[in-house]
Structure 1
Amino acid sequence: MLEKLNYYLTDIQQTDPITLSQQAELLCHELAVFELSNLKIEGYDYDPAIAIEELGLDAELVDHLVEDYVEQITKSVVQFEKYLKELQNSKANSKDLDYTPFRELAHKNLGVARNLRIHDAQILLYELMKKDDLDYLVHCLEALKYCAIKLKPQRAYDTLKLLAIKNAL
């Protein structure tokens, strides 16, 4: 199941921000309509005006904070994947599953999504914090990743390129 996430870093060398954005749109839609239809996130488009109004910040600062959020989520996906692999190994070996690090990471990212009023991310991160079904968590993580890419494709692309370079070293 986690192989779906591995392409995240390995195929970045053969894509560009526009292609990445198109893939994210398609895959986010598919996940929202099929595997995660219960979350009702299909068709959600982030509106920074809500954060601007409610937080009293200017548009440029909110835009910068959203870019930082996309970078943070993009990097966090790698850590989430590591924790999911550990959980899957524990399950396969009939050991107790310790969701604590996974849920702490979800909680950390949830705070940022709430502050920026990113509704789909809030829902997905809440699911990552509360659910125990590993296959379902993989779907939520995929959706979170693709929804973040949709927000700022160039920032996601740049972050993925840096992660791929670090991974190759």
Structure 2
Amino acid sequence: MLKKFKFFVKSSNEQSIMQMLNDAKKICYTLVTGKLSNLNIQNYTYDISIAVRELGLDKELVTQLVDDYVAQVIKAVVQFEDYLATLHISKDNHNDLDYTAFRELAHKNLGVARNLRIKDAEILLYELMKEDDLEYLFACLEALKVCAIILRPKCAYDTLKLIEVKSSL
């Protein structure tokens, strides 16, 4: 009886992951061919062999590092969104905008993306570090999130579920 139940749970997760991936691809396409078309990342596909070759690490280790990166970015998106909300409040109140914490978080994640040779993330994180337009930053952040989901859908799904569970406690 329990085996049957586990099968249905697994199937449901796979369906959820596929739905999330399809949604991410649609959002990504809309962003990278629209507001972010200037970044020329619409045809980018990550090639793990480049990181394996350039870093001199085995594929299994690089795969684990990419999974860790995806989890890190998904978790960082929550922080980025908080920082953006604070910046919006400051802008609405006609206060000076302090991008320091936002840019430090972008810089931290940029280093990891560079090390793993994840080019679309590098470009998006660089934009997060240098741009001041809040709407553009939001678009870059959305693209970063969906690109991470596309890169490792199961890892992203598991991380999002973990965040959901932790926030409900």
- TM-score (structure 1 length as normaliser): 0.90
Partner of 1:49, secondary structure, is: helix
Q: Which has the higher contact order (CA 8 A, sep 6+)?
A: 1
Residue 29 of structure 1, CA deviation? 1.0
Residue 167 of structure 1, CA deviation? 1.5
Instruction: State the partner residue of 1:88.
Output: 88
Residue 84 of structure 1, CA deviation? 0.2
Query: Paired residues, what number?
Result: 156
Residue 162 of structure 1, CA deviation? 0.7
Q: CA RMSD in A?
A: 1.1
- TM-score (structure 2 length as normaliser): 0.90
The answer (yes or no) to whether the contact 1:106–1:125 under 8 Å persists in 2 is: yes
Unpaired segments ≥5 residues, structure 1: 1-12
Residue 78 of structure 1, CA deviation? 0.1
The answer (yes or no) to whether the contact 1:29–1:43 under 8 Å persists in 2 is: no
The answer (yes or no) to whether the contact 1:84–1:134 under 8 Å persists in 2 is: yes
Matches within 5 A, 1:15-34: 16-34=16-34
Per-residue CA shift, 1:27-79, capped at 9, x if unaligned?
Answer: 11110000100000001100001000000010000100000000000000000
Moved over 6 A (4+): none
Instruction: State the partner residue of 1:160.
Output: 160
Unpaired segments ≥5 residues, structure 2: 1-12
Partner of 2:95, secondary structure, is: coil
- Rounded to whole Å, the distance in 2 between the matches of 1:120 and 1:79 is 20
- Rounded to whole Å, the distance in 1 between the matches of 2:97 and 2:159 is 31
Partner of 2:141, secondary structure, is: helix
